[in-house]
Amino acid sequence: MADTDINAVAGLTQKVYDADPVANVFDFKLSDVFRSHCDIENNGAGENVNFTIVGAGTVVASMDYELAGGSFNTYRFTVEPVVITFRATVHRKAIDVAKKQGSRAIFNTQKMALDMALYEAWRKFDRHCAAKRGEIGIITAISGSTITIGRVAGTADGWITNRLKPGMILVAGATPGTGNLRGSTPGDEEVVSSWNDVTAVVTCASSISGNWVVGDTIWEKGDAYYDQTLKSGRRCIAGVPAWLDETAASASESFYGQDRSDNPYDLEPMRITVTSGTTARKGLVRALTRMHGQRAIAANLGLLPTTCYEKLLIEQDNKEITSTLEKDAKGKKIVIKLTGVEISNGAGGMCIFYAWPYLAQDFGYIGNAEEAPFKILYTDQMVRLHEDGQGLWRRIRGGLADPVTAEKVAALEAEGDLRVLLYNKCPARWAVISGLTTLAEP
């Protein structure tokens, strides 16, 4: 089988992706609830974006800033896109059938394969948005060929196992952002075989490396915040838990070039802990009214882990509402419908709470998504398809010999990059809610 026909129309797919970046972000079935509420912003062909936060609150005397001609209490953050690589495969038989139907069928076949691969890349982006730095979790126990994982050190959390896949290659490190991965270059690796959704026990293909220890952070290979060859490189975005950290920033941190502890009132979120033993609705009502009363913020978006949302939904007698979001894609309206639970925000409006499946179970987030939206930053060619001497689609050897060329080609594979970034200019208009696992059953 010759692959010239499929490569002849491959360039059209790149043009389709380039023509409408908005649709690339939102026009997927079952769009992620968090991504659906993000704004998008074009950075042209640039690699980095600088934005400033001008503080209004009290700052410490040692505050520093980086802005040419800048003023006191002005903070300059430098962010850069990250790359998520995806691979699409088309079976030889699918191309053989498409070739008989013409170039349009060939285009549709390879576009469908690329869309499916791109969808998985967006799902990975969504998972990274719910993590601090793209991590799977923290090791809470090691035994033979198994590890137990959680979001917080010492606490297992089976709900974050939805970040895993069979065959996923894991690496481990001590503290994100410093030092090397565990083991020899490029870090000891373990392959995921299976896991238990309840106990959070992950079984690997072999005995766990003796270099891994309880308390280490694990990533999928290639996602680590650092490695031996790129210690300072950001391999993953800073997700919502990083922008809205449940722990106050330390004086030694450098978050996109800034020390947020200099002015926590403007650079960090509000932190609220629910009262243990109260119901979900009562806990969230108190969080909303406290946010309005103490910060004058009328929250309209709540992101909850699934167990907390379940308690809230039961308490509400399964009364959900359907909210509609509209995104403008070059004059075409993309309509996204999501289901959530409404609670008064104490300011005369309503806050809609949604279940965000990738969140760890102890933390949720509330904020004003209109005044302080999270933004998805993209560059020109946000979806970038790779081409080499063979073209976009490359041969995977195997299978029966082609009757014309005598080549043994089992399938064709293409590779691309999703170049994207997440940031928020007003993290102080949000709050992180902790202690959600202590809420009582309704």
pLDDT digits (tens, 9 = 90+) for 93-127: 787 788 788 888 888 888 888 989 998 899 999 99
Spatial distance between the Cα atoms of 274 and 34, rounded to a whole number of angstroms: 22
* pTM of the predicted protein model: 0.86
Greatest Cα-to-Cα distance within the chain, rounded to the nearest angstrom? 78
If you ran DSSP here, which 8-state letter would residue 427 be given?
A: G
Reference 277, options 439, 433, 441, 442; nearest CA is: 439
The whole-number pLDDT of residue 180 equals 75
The three-state secondary structure class of 324 is: strand
> Above 80 in pLDDT, residue 261?
yes
Instruction: Identify the residue whose tokens are 């650079």.
Output: 267
Q: In angstroms, what CA-CA distances link 133 with 251, 260, 438?
A: 20, 17, 26
In the prediction, which pLDDT does 66 show? 41
Domain edges within the chain? 4-84+375-423, 137-220, 273-374+426-438
Q: Is 388 or 14 the better-scoring residue by pLDDT?
A: 14
Q: How far apart are CA 410 and CA 398, in angstroms?
A: 5
pLDDT digits (tens, 9 = 90+) for 38-94: 988 777 655 566 667 666 544 443 334 343 334 556 777 777 778 888 898 888 778
Residues 279-292, mean pLDDT to the nearest whole number: 95
Percent of the chain as helix, strand, coil, to the nearest 5: 25, 35, 40
- Per-residue confidence at 176, pLDDT binned at 50, 70, 90? low
pLDDT average, residue stretch 19-30: 72
pLDDT at 351 over 80: yes
Q: Is residue 140 left, alpha or beta, with left meaning phi > 0 and alpha meaning psi from -120 to 50?
A: alpha
**Count of C-beta atoms within a 10 Å radius of residue 397:** 9
Residue 406: pLDDT over 60: no
| Gap between the Cα atoms of 85 and 78, Å rounded | 23
Residues 193, 29: Cα–Cα separation, whole Å: 29
Residues 6+ apart with CB under 8 A from 374: 34, 37, 38, 39, 240, 243, 422, 423, 424
Q: Which residue has the tokens 């996109």?
A: 256
CA proximity to 84, closest of 112, 41, 117, 50 = 117
Provide CATH code, domain 273-374+426-438: 3.30.2320
Q: Which of 2-6, 64-68, 112-116, 407-411 has the lowest mean pLDDT?
A: 64-68
